[in-house]
């Protein structure tokens, strides 16, 4: 019986080194991979979450890695284009694009960004050079599109989440050009 082998695409990077793209599968609200390259990438850059020999990616992480040509995303054995993946992600997460703009901007600035659902926030952000598990996140991050409304009650609730988790509150405002402006909010007593 012949053993099946996976074909890997080779990409030439600027420095002339070859890197293999790895395969990942869209499975519900997550993207997962059991490729060795996925485990290596997690070890180096903390993309995804390891669980039972696989790496699970949030939808925003998966798009980021797709755009960086680190992985290819498949759904039912069909390779998804960037546009097809975004279309599916927007159906799953209505605020997907706003969240993605913020995730991409923070990652491009050198921060590690992880989901923060258990904290009641969109993301938790680790300071540059800090790996999750070694130290705690510095911020909880809430992406907001510039034309959306945020009541004082909602704002106060976000601030309470940050305060109760001993993190700083970071609000990211995404404008029509997909540029992101950040506001760090602190809790002070009069």
Active site residues: 126, 136, 167
Question: Which strands form 139-145's sheet, in the order they lie side by side?
Answer: 112-115, 123-126, 139-145, 168-174, 180-185
Distance CA 100, CA 86 (A): 10
Interaxial angle between packed helices 59-67 and 96-108, expressed in degrees from 0 to 180 and rounded to the nearest 10: 60
Distance CA 131, CA 133 (A): 6
């Amino acid at each position: 019986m012949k053993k099946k082998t996976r074909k890997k695409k080779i990409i030439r990077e600027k420095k002339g080194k070859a890197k293999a793209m790895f395969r990942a599968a869209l499975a519900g609200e997550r993207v997962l991979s059991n490729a060795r390259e996925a485990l290596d990438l997690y070890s180096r850059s903390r993309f995804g979450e390891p669980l039972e020999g696989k790496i699970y990616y949030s939808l925003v992480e998966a798009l980021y890695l797709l755009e960086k040509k680190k992985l290819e995303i498949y759904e039912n054995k069909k390779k998804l284009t960037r546009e097809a993946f975004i279309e599916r992600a927007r159906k799953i997460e209505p605020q997907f694009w706003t969240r993605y703009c913020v995730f991409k901007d923070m990652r491009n600035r050198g921060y590690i960004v992880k989901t923060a659902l258990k904290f009641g926030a969109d993301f938790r952000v680790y300071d540059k050079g800090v790996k999750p598990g070694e130290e705690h996140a510095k911020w909880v991050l809430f992406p907001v599109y510039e034309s959306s409304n945020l009541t004082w009650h909602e704002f106060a609730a976000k601030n309470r989440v940050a305060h109760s988790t001993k993190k700083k509150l970071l609000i990211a405002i995404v404008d029509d050009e997909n540029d992101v402006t950040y506001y760090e909010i602190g809790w002070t007593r009069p």
